[in-house]
Structure 1
Amino acid sequence: MIRSIILVTCICSCIKLSAQAIAIPASTGYAVPVEKEERGMFSEKNGLHWTNASQKISYTFYLRRAGELAISLDLKNKSAGNTIRVSVEDEHGPSATKTGQPAVSPGKVFTVAVPSSVEYKNTQVGKVYVKDSGFYTITLSSVKKAGDVIADIRSVLLSGSATENMHFNPKPRRNAASVHLKYPVPDSVKATSFYNEITVPAGADLVHSYYMACGFARGYFGIQVNSATERRVIFSVWDSGNEAIDRNKVADSNKVQLLAKGEGVFADGFGNEGTGGHSHWVYPWKAGETYKFWVTALADSATHTTIYTGYFFIPELQKWKLIASFKAPHDGQTLRNLYSFNENFVGSNGQLQRKAYFGNQWIQRQNGSWKELTQASFSYDATGKAGDRIDYGGGEENGKFYLWNGGFHKANAQYGDVFSRAAAGVRPMVDVTKNADSLVQAEKDKQEILARVKNKEIDTTGSKDGVYYHILKEGTGDYVSIDDTVTLYYKGWILQTGLVFDQTKDKPAVFPLRRLIRGWQIAVPMCKPGGKIRMYIPSGIAYSIRSRSKDIPPNSILVFDVEVLSSKK
């Protein structure tokens, strides 16, 4: 709770301001409770149109020196009889400041009469003496409301010696500055996956917040608070080209392509901050819980494309969930420019502090080995670079990096600061075979196969342990054993699209059967040497939600024609 000190006002309500008065635009304030954006309560053109007597209005600024602070309001109201109360709050809370004294000289309760006027009038509120540097907040509250409007306010006017070199945000954008962690990875390291964890502490899970775990050159992956009743897991990948606003203007050859999405996931395009493919899953994530994120990249240098896939771990199920998989054109590279961020994406509550912890960052290299990331550099967006907001920071705490923004506290990090954390040595354990949507997807695959059988699009002899099959040619001798090494010809394609993704050509392939996907281990032992089988393998016993290759999207039903030439114990 922040100490409130009521301003002493002069008997005269209207005075002529000194030439040195600093005007804080009324459009830069905050309402508590937060106003509904569609009401147009704050506007750059008209300032503050204040109608709700249950709302308090606040303006925060940073004073760099002690001294006298005189406060006035530039306001009007067509009706007479409105009064408001004005108070000053400091950032130090109810205890004494570092000087041992209150930061602002004490005063008495005073209410200010809103002038009845169709023109704005400079109405003096009063003077206080500031004894310490820091953030200060002027709060307006309604005492008496007569008519529909409490007041129309154009600006908060400050003068006096305490205003020398003071700071405030003069712009209508009321968002806190977005803050970032960038994880340095040498160009020589080809990362095929990026793993990160997020914990948002209690009270920091504010509406209009995006806590992003796995950012990379082409996209981002994290959790949002979208409203008081909705939270999301979001995974997005940018298009190619230079269009920043309208995705309808992006050529099809530059658009990312959705390959697959998890059960209940919404997927569409996005614009206005670049364009691209967007996906989100509505999920009630909680403050205090740690959430795991894993993004993979399957690069194809021949076609200059990369498939990016985002997976989210659900703690209560102890299972991973596919969010979405997108194919990005004009790429062909692995993961690069890895980062995380905290973002306040709507400015109506940018005066509140957001914070998140980021821990146990790892990348996986092309050879399958893992590497832990233990360094990160700090940066912020254009709002921070312009100096509009100076309340942000980050660092390391208990083995995790953290970021915070908003709340009007003194910055504890500067652009380019490098943070380090101790290596935890806890490599990610990622198993997506038994995933959150396994049962639902298994039923979908079954119904897909049965519908095609019913429509006589495919022919099956029967099924075994989930694999549907048709014996095309009987062989001779002993049946193949699961422990055998088999020599065979094969051709594989996607049931849903008919796309052939792999096949033998002039020479047969030789495989230890135990090393192949579960569907092969089930069906091939129904063959004898010289025999031929067609197998319809549901995704759950094929590659499940993994992006196995550029031609096999997650949740693909695979069809194989296999001719067994020989088997060896």
Structure 2
Amino acid sequence: MKTFMKLIINVIVFSLVLMKVSCSSSDSGTFVEEDPITETPDNSVDVKKLSISVACEGNSWVAETIYPENTGNIVGEGGISNWTDANNKIRTYFYAKTTGDIQVGLKGKFTSTTKLKVTLGSVSKEVEFESSATAQKYAVGTFKIESKGYHFVELEGLIKSGSTFGEISDILLGNATWSSNIVSVQPDWFYWGRRGPSVHLGYTMPEGKNITWFYNELTVPEGMDPIGTYFMANGFADGYFGMQVNSETERRVLFSVWSAYDTQDPNQIPDEYTVDPLGYGTDVTVKEFGGEGSGAQSYLVYNWKAGNTYKFLLRGESNTENTMDYTAYFYAPEVGDWKLIASFRRPFPSNSAKYLGRLHSFLENFTPSMGSNVRKINYSNQWVYDTNGTWSEMTGAKFTVDNTAASGVRFDYDGGADGANFYLRNCGFFSDNEIPNTSFTRTPKGVAPTVDFSKLEVPKIPEEVVRNLLDRSTWTVVDYSSQEDQGGEGDTGKCYDILDNDVNTYWHSCWNNCTGTPPHHIVVDMGESKTIAGFRFIQRQSLSRAVKDIELQVSADNTTWTSIGDFTLANVSTVLDIDLSEAKTFRYFKFIAKTSHDGSDFAAMAEIVPYTN
């Protein structure tokens, strides 16, 4: 249990920053659980004295939602809009550094007479707003802040005569005596403030040992696994290894290694800096990544369960001059065995290392519309194995935070030790936070992992099946729905680029001064009938607008078409082969792109190559 004194110390640490930076949030421990008392609006509130604006764009979420799109469809640039469903209550969060009476209003535009319920703490007020052509400031009433920490103003739609409950840009607070005591996320921090703070544990490694293996166990408590979370178990100087909640239906085990070349675009990495795969397990996808550094990434789609304990094992050592080889294994109790994820070779390892270093774990939210949901992770057993064949237990760790927390943008961060476990917790607008840079010691378990290294799968690149790829030099495109031929893709973007035997050129659906909505199609004439056993696809190498769901149709005369099936293409830059259930004879084939991996209306494809075996 965190003490009140810790909160006071933390506020003092960030007091100078808080004069400039704001944060949005609310603490479930602060909020009253009983039904609020409903009052009529307080007409004595002077709207001109509501001098504090809490921007909805950076501080509002749909209440108690587990789906990103619920907030994403309503809260966006400019604040709250498209709010049509009365079941969607909107909460706008702020941090109060003191207590007392506070006056509340809002800034918004209402296209017709609208009635909202406005709640803060244990009091609600029902307010009617008249229609207006432009955004206006409205007074709501006086409320009470009964505790320091996070709070929220909740808006509930009661009556609307128009299509929406209004467009609301700001929650207004006052009077001026509160100006230095209210913290909310400011415009320069909207993206990171909505994501919330990331929290870390840096483990105390044994001194004087060359570490080659890092073992960790983690358990996500039930209900603490919202969409958009990365529960990172085995972090090291050059990468990270853990598990994610990617969507309502997909979860992954993710292992990535950064390139030593500083760029956000993997296409810019010189060959000598490229992180090369040395092997990967069955059903594992290997690709490049960018955006937050760049390098090599691997993941296994696996439906892990909250409440179950999973084991992570990472190997790191240098086997050739000025490189490090990193190999990751995952153990699921549902499977009962170690599963190889991938192995990568990184040129120019950090600090010219030859063994594992800077071992850590972290917890982050990577979906801004889920920044109001709390998440937590328990780490239960950390060990390292050295070149002398000895296991050592790591029982010490330092709790640290990212720049979002260190700059005073969000305070809902926590971490420490609980008996024999370490833990991390973030987001959700709780107020019982931990002081950053605090060191903790957990209770030792004293039982080393039982890992038989000789039985672990040896990494190797799966052998590529040799295909009899057909010569396409005389083939023609005889029909298509659209192509980017207005210069938007430079010298590429045309349909024929799927036949030119160059993976660096590609077809792209039109977008520059034109529109093209899915499904997209391309019809290819092979010149004569051929018996085809399958198709090879190669996505656009940057994976921008990579195609996901497709249909293939075939024809002998370009008039009568037969579907040979619907297929899903992986979001990878390597070859994707689709074997037909039985060989088909035809002259024409139609490629139909139904969806893209990024969810947009656009699509791109580098190569399509039929083969005969």
For residues 13 and 47 of structure 1, the distance between their equivalents in structure 2, rounded to whole angstroms, comes to 27
2:21 is the counterpart of 1:5: no
Q: Normalised by the size of structure 1, how large is the TM-score?
A: 0.70
- Give the whole-Å Cα distance in 2 for the aligned partners of 1:334 and 1:403: 27
Letter in 2 for 1:113: E
Counterpart AA for 1:397? D
TM norm structure 2: 0.65
User: Is 1:24 aligned to 2:50, yes or no?
Assistant: no
Code of the aligned partner of 2:104:
I
8 Å CA contact 1:200, 1:287 repeated in 2 = yes
SS at match of 1:383: helix
Q: CA deviation at 1:326?
A: 0.3
Among 42, 46, 50, which residue is 2:83 paired with?
Answer: 50
Structure 2 residue identity aligned to 1:194: F
Counterpart check, 1:304 vs 2:319: no
Q: Whole-Å Cα distance in 1 between the matches of residues 52 and 42 of structure 2?
A: 22
> Which residue of 205, 216, 222 corresponds with 1:196?
216
Given the superposition, is the C-alpha separation of residues 312 and 39 from structure 1 closer, same or farther in structure 2, using an over 3 Å criterion?
closer
Deviates more, 1:116-125 or 1:32-41: 32-41
Give the deviation of 1:155 after TM superposition.
Answer: 0.4
Compute the RMSD of aligned alpha carbons: 2.7
1:203 partner SS: coil
- 1:60 and 1:11 map into 2 onto residues whose CA distance is 22
Q: Distance in 2 between matches of 1:367 and 1:433?
A: 16
**2:157 paired with 1:139:** no
Alignment pair present for 1:246 and 2:265: yes
> Counterpart of 2:347?
329
CA contact (8 A) 2:216 2:234 kept: yes
Q: Distance in 1 between matches of 2:42 and 2:225?
A: 45
Report whether the alignment pairs 1:356 with 2:386. Answer: no
Cα 1:35–1:316 shift into 2, 3 Å: closer
Among candidates 346, 349, 374, match of residue 367 of structure 2: 346
- The 2-side partners of 1:251 and 1:115 are apart by 61
Amino acid in the other structure paired with 1:356: I
Relative to structure 1, the CA distance from residue 366 to residue 434 in structure 2 (aligned partners, 3 Å threshold; closer, same or farther) is closer
Match of 1:264 among 280, 283, 286: 283
Question: C-alpha distance in 1, partners of 2:225/2:266?
Answer: 31
**Counterpart amino acid of residue 69 in structure 1:** I
Correspondences of 1:487-498 after superposition (within 5 Å): none
Identify the match of residue 81 of structure 1 among 107, 113, 118: 113
Unaligned runs of at least 5 residues, structure 1: 90-103, 452-569
Is the Cα–Cα contact under 8 Å of residues 79 and 170 in structure 2 kept in the other structure? no
Query: What SS class does the counterpart of residue 122 from structure 1 fall into?
Result: strand
How far did 1:211 drift?
0.6
Quote the offset at 1:6 in angstroms. 4.6
| Cα separation, 1, equivalents of 2:102 and 2:271 | 59
2:74 to 31, 41, 65: 41
- Within 5 Å, which residues of 2 pair with 1:44-443? 44-45=77-78, 48-78=81-111, 80-89=112-121, 107=123, 110-160=125-175, 161=177, 164-170=180-186, 171-173=189-191, 174-185=194-205, 188-243=208-263, 245-300=264-319, 303-331=321-349, 332-431=353-452
Supply the distance in 2 between the matched residues of 1:354 and 1:269 (Cα, whole angstroms): 28
Structure 1 pair 164–3 and aligned structure 2 pair: CA distance change class (3 A): farther
**After the TM superposition, which residues 493-532 of structure 1 pair with which residues of structure 2 at under 5 Å, given as runs?**
none
TM superposition shift of 1:234:
0.4
Residues 421-500 of structure 1 aligned to structure 2 (within 5 Å):
421-431=442-452
In 2, distance between residues paired with 1:338 and 1:115?
58
Letter in 2 for 1:212: M
1:73–1:156 Cα contact (<8 Å) kept: yes
- Which digits, 9 at most, give the CA deviation of each residue in 1:167-214, with x for residues without a partner? 222332311200000012266422111111101111101111111010
Cα deviation code 1:205-234 (max 9, x no counterpart)? 111111101000001000111111111100
Aligned to 1:467: none
- Deviation at 1:110? 3.5
Distance verdict in 2 for CA 1:10–1:314, change over 3 Å: closer
CA contact (8 A) 1:297 1:335 kept: yes
- SS at structure 2 position matched to 1:236: strand
Shift of 1:21: 2.0
Say which SS state the counterpart of residue 110 (structure 1) adopts: strand
Distance in 1 (alpha carbons) for counterparts of 2:417 and 2:357: 23
Deviation of 1:60 (Å): 1.8
Which position in structure 2 is the counterpart of 1:529?
Answer: none
> 1:81 offset after TM fit, Å?
2.5
Q: What displacement does 1:370 show?
A: 1.2
Structure 2 regions of 5+ residues with no counterpart?
Answer: 1-31, 467-613
CA contact (8 A) 1:13 1:113 kept: no
Do the aligned partners of residues 129 and 163 (structure 1) sit closer, same or farther apart at CA in structure 2, a change above 3 Å counting? farther
Displacement of 1:15 after TM fit?
Answer: 4.8
1:125–1:47 Cα change, 3 Å? same
Query: Residues of 2 paired with 1:130 and 1:314: CA distance?
Result: 46
1:422 to 1:110, Cα distance in 2 relative to 1, 3 A: closer
Aligned residue type for 1:309: T
Q: Deviations over 1:514-555 (max 9, x none)?
A: xxxxxxxxxxxxxxxxxxxxxxxxxxxxxxxxxxxxxxxxxx
Give the corresponding residue for 2:537.
Answer: none
Tell me which amino acid in the other structure corresponds to 2:397. Answer: A
Deviation at 1:148, TM superposition (A): 2.6
Superimposed CA distance per residue, residues 480-527 of structure 1 (whole angstroms, 9 cap, x where no aligned partner) = xxxxxxxxxxxxxxxxxxxxxxxxxxxxxxxxxxxxxxxxxxxxxxxx
Offset at residue 409 of structure 1 (A): 1.6
Over residues 1-60 of structure 1, what are the superposed CA-to-partner deviations in whole Å (9 max), with x where a residue is unaligned?
A: 834535644365995321x62110011200133452896533344555533333111012
Rg larger in structure? 1
Q: Distance in 2 between matches of 1:35 and 1:263?
A: 31
2:326 touches 2:343 (CA, 8 Å); kept in 1?
Answer: yes
Closer, same or farther: CA 408–30 of 1 in aligned 2, 3 Å:
same
Superposition deviation, residue 84 in structure 1: 1.4
> SS at 1:401's partner residue?
strand
> In 1, Cα distance between the equivalents of 2:42 and 2:226?
42
> Offset of 1:419 from its aligned partner?
0.5
Distance 2:317 2:339 in 1: 18
**% identical aligned pairs:** 36
Give the Cα separation in 1 of the matches to 2:198 and 2:258: 19
Q: Does the 8 Å contact 1:342/1:403 carry over to 2?
A: yes
Task: Measure, in 2, the Cα distance between the counterparts of 1:390 and 1:273.
Answer: 23
Q: 1:363 to 1:15 in 2, by over 3 A?
A: same
Contact 1:63 / 1:163 at 8 angstroms: preserved in 2? no
1:76 positional shift: 0.4
Counterpart in the other structure of 1:506: none
8 A Cα contact 2:203 2:396, kept in partner: yes
Q: Would you say the 8 A contact 2:62–2:70 is kept in 1?
A: no
Deviation (angstroms), 1:137: 1.5
Residue aligned with 1:149, SS: coil
Residue 298 of structure 1: CA displacement?
A: 2.4
Distance across 1 between alignment mates of 2:79 and 2:415: 36
The letter of the residue matching 1:25 is A
1:348 aligns to what SS in structure 2? helix
**Structure 2 Cα separation of the partners of residues 407 and 425 of structure 1:** 35
Letter in 2 for 1:278: Q
**Further displaced range: 325-334 or 30-39:** 30-39
Q: State how far apart, in whole Å, the 2-side matches of 1:205 and 1:246 are.
A: 30
Aligned residue number for residue 479 of structure 2: none
